[in-house]
């Protein structure tokens, strides 16, 4: 079964310095029909103007993943971490019992474009944690590259949830297939370009939830960058 979520149907927050498109109910955008898919709670596509950003704010009991598409994202948090994330960087912050952090566009001249993803952890009130890894384009080209998992396997960042996140870059004759085991479902988010997912054509910003299927098949892509979430049903 496929449940398509078109880009134009997402919630929008626009504050001049920020344009954010919400796949799921978030902030002032309340949509009971799109609250989450399993433990996948948030996919926000954010574009932040030069020199602007999110002032220090707090989170609890959430796995927060940032996936930078363009530009430079500056991060600081109450655990003492500070870094600038660029394309290919994946950051995981486990909020646990509580973390305060800020996110700013590091550049004074160019916008930053990134996906912020929230995954509900399988346990609450754990110790806060932080991790970041780099995955270059070649590692994702023509294949599904694991970037986050419950055990940090294959060099991925670790998640406190029985979930896996894959990234891929596909074009032309490229194809990627992912089996869905019993009791699992998938969510596919197209970051850019276009791709056919299980026969359904999706463009940039589109997504599809997949359940009761044996596999996820990605094909017929045009300059596509895609995230695939393997989740408990």
Distance CA 122, CA 215 (A): 25
pLDDT < 70 stretches in the chain: none
Domain-ending residue, one of 93, 118, 134: 134
Shared domain check, 146 and 114: no
Tell whether 2 is covered by a domain.
Answer: no
- pLDDT, tens digit, for every residue of 184-198? 999 999 999 999 999
Shared domain check, 144 and 39: no
pLDDT of 105 reads 98
The CATH number of the domain holding residue 158 is: 2.60.120.10
Shared domain check, 129 and 51: yes
Shared domain check, 170 and 127: no
Shared domain check, 102 and 22: yes
Shared domain check, 55 and 16: yes
pLDDT of 174 reads 97
Which one, of 216, 156, 39, 27, lies nearest residue 207 by Cα? 216
Shared domain check, 200 and 115: no
Shared domain check, 200 and 126: no
Shared domain check, 150 and 98: no
Residues 44/162/91/198 CA torsion (nearest 10 deg): -50
pLDDT of 226 reads 98
Count of structural domains within the chain: 2
Shared domain check, 145 and 97: no
Distance CA 166, CA 152 (A): 12
pLDDT of 139 reads 97
Tell whether 3 is covered by a domain.
Answer: no
The beta strand positions in 71-138, using DSSP E, are 73-77, 82-85, 89-94, 99-105, 112-119, 129-134
Domain membership of residue 204 as a residue range = 137-232
pLDDT of 198 reads 98
pLDDT of 126 reads 96
104 phi and psi angles, rounded to 5 deg = -130, 155
What is the per-residue DSSP string for 133-180? EE--HHHHBTS-EEEEESS-GGGPEE-SSS-EEEEEEEEET--EEEE-
pLDDT of 62 reads 98
């Amino acid at each position: 079964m496929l449940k398509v979520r078109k880009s134009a149907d997402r919630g929008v927050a626009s504050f001049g310095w920020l344009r954010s498109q919400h796949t799921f109910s978030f902030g002032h955008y309340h949509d009971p029909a799109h609250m989450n898919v399993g433990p996948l709670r948030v996919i926000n596509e954010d574009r932040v103007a030069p020199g602007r950003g999110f002032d220090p704010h707090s989170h609890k009991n959430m796995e927060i993943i940032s996936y930078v598409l363009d530009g430079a994202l500056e991060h600081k948090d109450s655990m003492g971490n500070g870094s600038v994330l660029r394309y290919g960087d994946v950051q995981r912050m486990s909020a646990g019992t509580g973390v305060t952090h800020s996110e700013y566009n590091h550049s004074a001249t160019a916008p930053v474009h990134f996906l912020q993803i929230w995954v509900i952890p399988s346990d609450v009130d754990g110790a806060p944690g932080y991790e970041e890894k780099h995955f270059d384009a070649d590692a994702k080209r023509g294949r599904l590259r694991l970037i986050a998992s419950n055990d940090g396997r294959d060099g991925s960042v670790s998640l406190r949830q029985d979930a896996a996140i894959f990234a891929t870059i596909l074009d032309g004759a490229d194809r990627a297939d992912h089996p869905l085991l019993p009791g699992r479902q998938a969510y596919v988010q197209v970051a850019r370009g276009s791709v056919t997912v299980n026969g359904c054509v999706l463009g940039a910003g589109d997504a599809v939830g997949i359940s009761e299927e044996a596999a996820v098949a990605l094909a017929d892509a045009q300059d596509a960058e895609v995230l695939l979430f393997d989740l408990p049903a």
